[in-house]
Chains A and B, each alone.
Chain A
Amino acid sequence: MSLYAMQKFLFALNRDAEVQRRFAEGGDTRTALLAGYDLNDEEREAIGTGDIGKLYVLGCNGQLLMHFAPLLGIAWADYLEAMREGVRKYGPVRAGIYAMTTGTDEKVAGV
């Protein structure tokens, strides 16, 4: 259920200002926020460090992940590159329906 929990956290983060505030505050507040979700250490670290590439490889739905990036201040081109970098570092997408079908050096959106 960990992938589900990660996605549920992203769902809450995308739509709930209080969750956004607690995440942005960082430190113990962020730790306590994430403790409310059934995450393993790898997932908790990926969320806590804003590792878009790892979250993508772990199977997070792109429609949820897409909003995490601007919340972290990551521009569109950098968001796409972060996912490519994730596949380079951690290997192919492990779950979900957002697998990558182009090469890590291809930039089909032009950026």
Chain B
Amino acid sequence: MSLVFAGVCSHAPGITGRAHLADPAVKDEFHAQFHRFGEAMRATKPDAVIVIAAEHFANFFMNNMPAYAIGMADRYEGPIEDPKWLGIEARTIPGDAALSQRLIREVMQTVDVAYAEEWKFDHGIMVPLNFLTPNFDTKVIPVNINCQGPPLTPLHRAWAFGEALRRACDKAPERIALVGTGGISHWPATPDSGKVNAEWDAEFMRRWCANDREALLSQVDYNDEATYREAGQGGFEIRTFLSVAAAARGKGEIFHMKAIPIFAVTCTAAVMSVA
């Protein structure tokens, strides 16, 4: 078994880019828990970290949108956004093309995944890495689930993708960490930015922590129409959380789950045991 860490976290650009606009005490508490989340990951001494993000048209556009894509390069660049706007300076991030290729070959046994030998990281990966690997010195395998341009992959397929990633990790001798980024309820980049649905978030994370597959894949609660209505278009990113739960198979523990309006999201960091 080579999956050594699993977790989920927020990736909103405001977390770093608008940190100076938040109540310092509230921001400091979240950043401290986000750093603790990173320390927990680094304590497992991963050779590489797979970051499942919901990227935001940094690499893929609607002329050819893969439901799933995995990076397959030895180095990546980021952030694609203005570094001053994001609060993270531009840099090169190490990858592992050979490991990526092995993972992709195994995932392809059950899920049709696109590969990409070029990948520019946007805030979906850069903001988490800022806390996970502050020196940006751990190899990253970027993964995207399309959560931006409908039609979106069905939830049960996001689950199957997580299972496929787990099988792929189990076949690799490397120690691999897995982090899903995005969600939970939010209305980013709209005038509603800052709004969240705290009850919806709490219930979703309760189900996530319990790793309750049936509840997480509820077609009543989390179909696209219901998610959009209750949790905004940002809620579509729960797909990354589902994949992590499917891969980890364990139980979750929340480090932080509190809305910070200027960051436009319920700021979340949670780990899950690998079972």
Q: Which residues of A contact B (CB under 8 A)?
A: 4, 7-8, 11, 14-15, 56, 61-67, 70-71, 76, 80, 83-84, 87, 97-102, 104, 106-111
> A61: which B residues are within 8 A, CB to CB?
57, 148-149
CB-based nearest B residue for A70: B85
Contact with A along B54-71 (1 / 0, CB 8 A): 001110011100000000
- Shortest C-beta distance, A43 to chain B (Å), equals 16
A100 partner residues in chain B, CB cutoff 8 A? 190-192
Chain B positions within 8 Å of A109 at CB level: 193-194, 261-262, 264
Which residues from B are CB-within-8-Å of A4? Answer: 62
A80 to B193, CA, bound (A): 8
Asked if A14 meets B57 with Cβ closer than 8 Å, knowing A109-B261, A111-B21, the reply is yes
Contact B85 A80 (CB under 8 A): no
Chain B: interface residue total (CB-CB under 8 A): 33
What 18 additional pairs, Cβ within 8 angstroms, besides A99-B190, A102-B192, A107-B194? A4-B62, A11-B57, A56-B190, A61-B57, A63-B56, A63-B188, A64-B57, A70-B85, A80-B193, A100-B191, A101-B195, A102-B195, A106-B191, A108-B193, A108-B261, A109-B262, A110-B261, A111-B21
> Smallest Cβ distance from B73 to chain A, in angstroms?
17
Q: With an 8 A cutoff between CB atoms, is B255 at the interface?
A: no
Partner of A108, one of B61, B85, B189, B194: B194
| Closest CB in chain A relative to B108 CB, distance in Å | 28
With the chains together, A13 CA to B232 CA distance in Å? 26
**Sampled A-B contacts (13; CB under 8 Å):** A8-B62, A8-B63, A14-B80, A56-B190, A61-B57, A62-B190, A63-B188, A66-B189, A67-B82, A87-B191, A97-B228, A108-B194, A111-B21
